[in-house]
Amino acid sequence: MSRRSGRRQGRLPRGRSRTTVIRRMWMAAVLATVVMTGCAKGHDKPGLPAEQGPAAMGVKAITPATELGANVTRVTGQVRSKQEATLSAQATGTLAKMNVKVGDKVKKGQTLAVLDTSNVSIGVEQARAVKQAADAALQLATSSLERARKVAEGGGMAAAALDQAEIGQKQAAAQAAQAAAAVKMAEENLRDMAIIAPFDGIITARMKNIGDTVAMMPPTPVFSLVDITGLEVRALVPESVVDKVKAGSKTSGTVSPSGMRFDVQVTTVGAVVDTTNRTVEVLADVVGETATPLRPGSLVELDFSSVGQADDKGLFLPAQAVSAKGQEGFVWVVQDGTVRKRDVRVERVLPGYVRVLQGLGADERVLADSSLDVKEGTAVRVVQ
């Protein structure tokens, strides 16, 4: 091939300008890009709704309850006796007799135990002997005074002698009274050597045995006595519920873990709120018959769901779902895969629950936790 023909192959074809060729090359590149993009899109997965997309936040959503279950108004209490006592001796000595054991039923005034009374009994005998002597001396002084007065009336005795007889009689009377008081004291000491039941009940514990030494100060516990006929329940009721509990109202209770049911009547509603746990002490008498006897110390649940709650209908949410100060607040409503801030008015009704007064429908879903880090329009995915 000649050098000239080689140069012709490197030239542009006749009738075509350089600009036209460049334009066609650019259009071909654009078309290739479009085709490649279309092919790539053809292999992508279909688009997901916002609430199901991988970037959406997983949340728990709830709808308002139209009434509250009984479980939110149950409080734990403990059965206790209205009368229970730890008994000790009123004297210091050694236990000589034990008349009862644990589980025995006793009556008021019954002797439960006796201390060794040897020395105290001797003291009683001595006091009685001294009293007999004082009584005799008083009788003699009284007779002497009567004779002295008769003699003085006849003029046969000086006034000073009569005065002396009167003084002697008064001294004898004082000594007799002192001796009588000593007898009472000795007899009282003897009675103190016995431990007496102060009321009807059951012996629930015996801490000492025959031969043990007990003291009066400080008192040595010997028996525990409990009256099981008069029982009450002590419960700590949350302050948000206690305003609905009134003295005289009746409700039911359940023994844990047996499940036995019983009835109580509220007798006392405390006037002070415990600042630590925000509760108020409530006392309720056990009334009516039970399947088996209740035992003091048993744990029970009291159900206050039906006490003073005529207005138990409405829309209720857990307090955690509402961000509120007083009655004004807001909730996060789930709509089309996003959250929307909704202003609401609420009132606190029970522990951890509020009633929605305005701003929310019964079929709307809200975030269960209003403290989540979300904002208006945040994409969410309900995971409950």
Confidence band for 174, pLDDT divided at 50, 70 and 90:
very high
Calculate mean pLDDT across residues 118-128: 94
Please indicate, yes or no, if residue 33 is contained in any of the structural domains. no
Asked whether residue 365 falls in the same domain as residue 343, the answer is: yes
Nearest to 365 by CA among 382, 352, 377: 382
Asked whether residue 285 falls in the same domain as residue 328, the answer is: no
Asked whether residue 239 falls in the same domain as residue 366, the answer is: no
- Which sign, positive or negative, has the C-alpha torsion 219, 223, 227, 228? positive
Please indicate, yes or no, if residue 290 is contained in any of the structural domains. yes
Q: Of 303, 324, 339, at which residue does a domain stop?
A: 303
Please indicate, yes or no, if residue 364 is contained in any of the structural domains. yes
Asked whether residue 248 falls in the same domain as residue 145, the answer is: no
Asked whether residue 124 falls in the same domain as residue 187, the answer is: yes
Please indicate, yes or no, if residue 350 is contained in any of the structural domains. yes
Asked whether residue 206 falls in the same domain as residue 257, the answer is: no
Domain count, the chain: 4
Asked whether residue 338 falls in the same domain as residue 369, the answer is: yes
Q: What's the pLDDT tens digit per position in 179-199?
A: 999 999 999 999 999 999 999
Q: Of 303, 332, 347, at which residue does a domain stop?
A: 303
Q: Of 285, 303, 321, at which residue does a domain stop?
A: 303
Give yes or no for residue 139 having a pLDDT over 50.
yes
* Domain around 295: 72-81+230-303
Confidence band for 322, pLDDT divided at 50, 70 and 90:
very high
Please indicate, yes or no, if residue 18 is contained in any of the structural domains. no
Confidence band for 323, pLDDT divided at 50, 70 and 90:
very high
Mean pLDDT of the chain: 83
How far apart (Å, rounded) are the C-alpha atoms in residues 98 and 343?
73
Q: What's the pLDDT tens digit per position in 29-84?
A: 544 443 344 433 433 434 444 445 557 888 999 999 887 655 556 789 999 999 99
Give percent of the chain with pLDDT exceeding 90.
Answer: 55
Please indicate, yes or no, if residue 170 is contained in any of the structural domains. yes
Give yes or no for residue 5 having a pLDDT over 60.
no
Report the CATH number at residue 247. Answer: 2.40.30.170
Asked whether residue 222 falls in the same domain as residue 234, the answer is: no
Q: What is the pTM of this model?
A: 0.54
Please indicate, yes or no, if residue 353 is contained in any of the structural domains. yes
Please indicate, yes or no, if residue 250 is contained in any of the structural domains. yes
Report the CATH number at residue 334. Answer: 2.40.420.20
Asked whether residue 142 falls in the same domain as residue 261, the answer is: no
Asked whether residue 264 falls in the same domain as residue 168, the answer is: no
Asked whether residue 124 falls in the same domain as residue 154, the answer is: yes
Asked whether residue 96 falls in the same domain as residue 215, the answer is: yes
Calculate mean pLDDT across residues 313-332: 89
